[in-house]
Amino acid sequence: MEIIYVYTRKRSEFGRPCSFSDRPAMVNVDIPPDPSMASNFVLRNPVDSSVQHTSDMSAHEVNTEWVEVESRGINHVEGGWPKDINPQEMEQTIRFRKKVEKDENYVNTIMHLGTLMEHCVKQNNAINIYEEYFGEEDTAEVEDEPPSAKTINVISKLTSFFDVLLPKRDPNVTKRTATHLSWHPDTCRKLAVAYSSLEFQQNAKDMSFDSYIWDLENSNKPELVLKPSSPLVSLEYNPKDSHILVGGCYNGQMAYWDTRKGGLPVEVSTVEVSHRDPVYGAIWLQSKTGTECFSASTDGQVLWWDIRKLSEPTESLVLDITRKGLLENALGAISLEFEPTMPTKFMVGTEQGIIIACNRKAKTPPEKITTTYSSHIGPVYALARNPFYPKVFLSVGDWTARIWSEETKESPIMWTKCHLSYLTDGCWSTVRPSVFFTTRSDGTLDVWDFLFKQNDPSLSLKVCNEPLSSLRLQDNGCIVGCGSKLGTVTLLEISSGLCTLQRNEKNLATAMFERETKREKILEARHREMRLKERARSEGQATEVEETLLEDPQEVLDRARREFFEVIEAEMQRRTRAEAQGLLGKVKDHMAEEVATQEEESQLPKDKEEEEEEEKE
């Protein structure tokens, strides 16, 4: 390497502070350009390059093994009955008891077991191992707890990695409404959901017909996919056989599934004998076979079925409130209610806002429609009887929820305030007689406790941003499922204060229902009396008008002239009497003035005499 220039400095100047000064620039080195080196350069367009110094990051995922949980328990029931005998049927149990008591070994067995049972009874009487020592304190804590609810699960199927971050909805690309929910009758781990698009003529070509049964312990994917011939609008578990489900389709057909046989329906009703519109309600009946159900649709019919033979309905009823049985006059059913403790009665909510109470065991079809209630302005989306007071039922429609009594036909005994958004569904609490739930089209769940507050709900919870479409409560009353328009199924756990029976609550609810029913009866009687008076008055006026029209015109003219002169004469007499009374009053006033003047004149001499006597004294 060739040294071109050398900088020199004395050693004594090493480390000395620099002394800067202001002076012109000085050229130390001048390197002239070399034209011969120009051929070695390559011209390029301007190039932008950026350099960023960041630490390298890597994403790692770890998924632990799935813990298999197995639930085991003991259920104590009235045992000893053979499988072919239903313990709830009184006749069968009595017949079986008589048969057993005739057995020779019966007495010997009872005598042998008597000693052992006596020993156990004495042990139980000695000490109560189930006694609660702090029940009052627990109750006080429940009462002081504010109403609340928390989301415990959102059911969906994970179709991609991003579904972990996004809200969980219907697994299909085209979102459908969760139209109906049904809990498994034996365990609370499974939930059957019917998915369907109820928007008229909005079904896409690639829209799925599937509905699903979800396992809440593994909600990433459905446990079973139900594949109907048409989208399901309603879906219900059989309370006697948890493997059987019945569903009502969008095209009016009825189908039933056996989960042990897969997702395809076991049998489907034919189109010719089915409903003509979507089946909005399908409910199982209390029967010995456990295979009977009935359905309602907006075509104005209620049909009874036996799933062992879905080729035709066993019975039908046309919802014609004129009781003529004409299908063109029938009201479309959009909700259905049945209480097992009242096996012959059921209720139907219609699109026209009328509730129809029916009795299946009536002799003729017109007699089956017993009562109608003019309940709401729009469709009645939900009907539910109070599980503690079956004569009291809840209806949900338009902007209000209303509580009715069978004893009052014209108006509800209680109702909620008018909300700003439409109400879509509702149900009673299974453990508290004064609590019920409603859903709204703005995605809000309302919990009402009318013993605590009547004007506003005890708890309002924003579940989602889309409208809520369906609602179903578990039998324990602690977990409620809400289905939305986009297929989201949200499970919420209610606070213990709203799902624990309070002290003296049944008596207070009974008193409130009776008081409000009595008040409505008094108002109905008063309104009925006023209507009768108005009708009598209108009929009397109509009779007078008819008599007037039947009279001779000359007679009517003579009577009018006579009445006119009578009025004139009465007016003249009244004026004459008034003038006479006026003159008499003036005479009396004049005489009173004269009397007063005379008294004053007679009083003056007496006053002068008294003054003179006083002066003399």
Mean pLDDT computed over 333-349:
89
For the beta carbon of residue 454, count every other beta carbon within 10 angstroms: 13
Q: Are 211 and 247 in contact (CB under 8 A)?
A: yes
* pLDDT reported for residue 83: 75
* pLDDT reported for residue 171: 54
Q: What is the pLDDT of residues 67-115, one digit of tens each?
A: 777 877 776 666 677 877 877 788 888 888 888 888 878 888 888 888 8
Q: Are 458 and 447 in contact (CB under 8 A)?
A: yes
The residues near 22 (Cβ < 8 Å, ≥ 6 apart) are none
- Which pLDDT band holds residue 482 (cuts at 50, 70, 90)? very high
Coil, strand or helix at 542: helix
Q: Are 265 and 228 in contact (CB under 8 A)?
A: yes
* pLDDT reported for residue 325: 79
* pLDDT reported for residue 160: 37
Q: In degrees, to the nearest 5, what angle opens at C-alpha 419 toward C-alphas 417 and 420?
A: 150
* pLDDT reported for residue 470: 92
* pLDDT reported for residue 603: 61
* pLDDT reported for residue 43: 73
Alpha-carbon distance values, 35 to 32, 45, 342, 447, 501 (Å):
10, 22, 112, 92, 103
Mean pLDDT computed over 268-288:
90
How far apart CA 426 and CA 394 sit, in angstroms, is 8
* pLDDT reported for residue 234: 93
Least confident range of 20-24, 58-62, 138-142, 495-499: 138-142
Alpha-carbon distance values, 125 to 114, 251, 335 (Å):
16, 62, 51
Say whether pLDDT at 37 is over 70: yes
- Which pLDDT band holds residue 386 (cuts at 50, 70, 90)? very high
Say whether pLDDT at 377 is over 60: yes
Q: From 467, 493, 466, 468, select the one nearest 480 (Cα to Cα).
A: 493
Instruction: Locate the domains of the chain by residue range.
Output: 149-157+171-503
* pLDDT reported for residue 142: 47
- Which pLDDT band holds residue 616 (cuts at 50, 70, 90)? low
Specify the pairing of strand 459-462 against strand 232-237.
Answer: unpaired
Mean pLDDT computed over 114-118:
88
Q: Are 475 and 430 in contact (CB under 8 A)?
A: yes
Q: Are 471 and 453 in contact (CB under 8 A)?
A: no
Say whether pLDDT at 572 is over 60: yes
DSSP for 130-147, written as a single string: T--SSHHHHHHHHHHSPP
Each as own residue / partner, the long-range contacts of residues 13-21 (CB below 8 Å, 24 or more positions apart, any chain) are none
DSSP secondary structure letter of residue 14 = T
* pLDDT reported for residue 247: 93
Each as own residue / partner, the long-range contacts of residues 310-319 (CB below 8 Å, 24 or more positions apart, any chain) are 310/254, 310/255, 310/256, 310/267, 310/268, 310/269, 311/269, 311/270, 311/273, 312/269, 312/270, 312/273, 313/269, 313/273, 315/360, 317/358, 317/365, 317/368, 317/369, 318/365, 319/348, 319/350, 319/356, 319/369
How far apart CA 495 and CA 147 sit, in angstroms, is 6
Average pLDDT, the chain: 83
Say whether pLDDT at 430 is over 80: yes
Q: Are 184 and 241 in contact (CB under 8 A)?
A: no
Q: Which residues pair with 415 in a beta bridge?
A: 402
- Which pLDDT band holds residue 395 (cuts at 50, 70, 90)? very high
Q: What is the pLDDT of residues 529-542, one digit of tens each?
A: 888 888 888 877 76
Say whether pLDDT at 168 is over 50: no
* pLDDT reported for residue 505: 86
Least confident range of 42-56, 290-304, 464-478: 42-56
- Which pLDDT band holds residue 425 (cuts at 50, 70, 90)? very high
For residue 189, give both structure tokens. Answer: 């781990």
Q: Are 320 and 364 in contact (CB under 8 A)?
A: no
Least confident range of 78-92, 284-298, 569-583: 78-92
Strands (DSSP E) contained in 441-478 are 444-449, 459-462, 468-473
* pLDDT reported for residue 193: 92
- Kindly report the pTM of this predicted structure: 0.62
Name the CATH superfamily, with its identifier, for domain 149-157+171-503.
YVTN repeat-like/Quinoprotein amine dehydrogenase (2.130.10.10)
Say whether pLDDT at 359 is over 70: yes
Does an H or E element contain 513, and which?
helix 505-550
Strands (DSSP E) contained in 22-163 are 149-155
Percent of the chain with pLDDT over 90: 21
Q: Which residues pair with 425 in a beta bridge?
A: 439
Say whether pLDDT at 138 is over 60: no
Q: Are 396 and 517 in contact (CB under 8 A)?
A: no
Most confident of the ranges 16-30, 124-138, 373-387: 373-387
Least confident range of 14-23, 349-358, 434-443, 459-468: 14-23
Q: What is the pLDDT of residues 205-232, one digit of tens each?
A: 778 888 999 888 887 888 889 999 899 9
- 321 vs 74 pLDDT, higher one: 321
